[in-house]
Structure 1
């Protein structure tokens, strides 16, 4: 095989992988933008579309405003809760996936410390959390790889949970996407 043949083979493999990534990528913010309007959030779980949830601790509040255009992200103003979760559901089509890459982009004054983990929720409502990974989100885009277990019960679904520790009062969530492969 010549050097040119090897380069062409490598290019084709990279193009095929890029195509696969593009087809399986779940843009959670786009899903939310298509499903809800700007909102005031109170403690507890709030569905922001079929794939994306936000959860706030007891006594907490947040205002959510989509940037213009709506696909440019979400601005969050909070009352500085102790924590907040951003949760993305993996589609049923990702059942055979063995890994998931999570892309998170937050504009903020200081880095945001977070834990990210996978939760498997059985049909009866019980759930099993995978061990969390620490993630520091500082300005640009942060990417983390999570292993996906293959032993989930039939009918179970999986969520990637980003647990923000002491989120700042003003956050601009530019990107939250999942890529199951």
Structure 2
């Protein structure tokens, strides 16, 4: 009887150890979730472009719902550092601008207004309205522009999106040029004002 009990005990112990050895997927980090959100926004933009060009019959509302769910989930995140919070705000501002533009375009299609949008100084009125309604303003504090590449890159991405919405060319507007400009402006302002940080908005 004791031998049988020992056998059962060993089997139970082996099963318990096996469960402990099973690797569980770690929850995604904040950086991974931000990267996913950025990719999903880019994918959603492509899907809406395909829809507006007649490639699909229905707007990509499923993808849109997933993006908005992820935005809300990250909005409740309390573990952001400054760069991550800025990156998140930049992505939300970008998505809000796109969302307003898509909504206006869909409304025009439903009302039968399929003519080309009016342009003001090279920018479509729909794009200008989307930018003007595009969520919270973005600002960041820069102490070392040379080292804080992720923050500068996020600002660059937002600026490029705004230029594209306005119909401005971006081919010759590279990140390296923009980074050098921000570094130069930061150093000039710090020297002139005698401060160690500069706030850009």
Fold conserved between structures, TM > 0.5 = no
What's the TM-score, normalizing by structure 2? 0.22
Structure with bigger gyration radius: 2
Name the structure with the higher helix share.
Answer: 2
Name the structure with the higher strand share.
Answer: 1
Structure possessing the higher relative contact order (Cα contacts under 8 Å, 6 or more residues apart): 1
What's the TM-score, normalizing by structure 1? 0.23
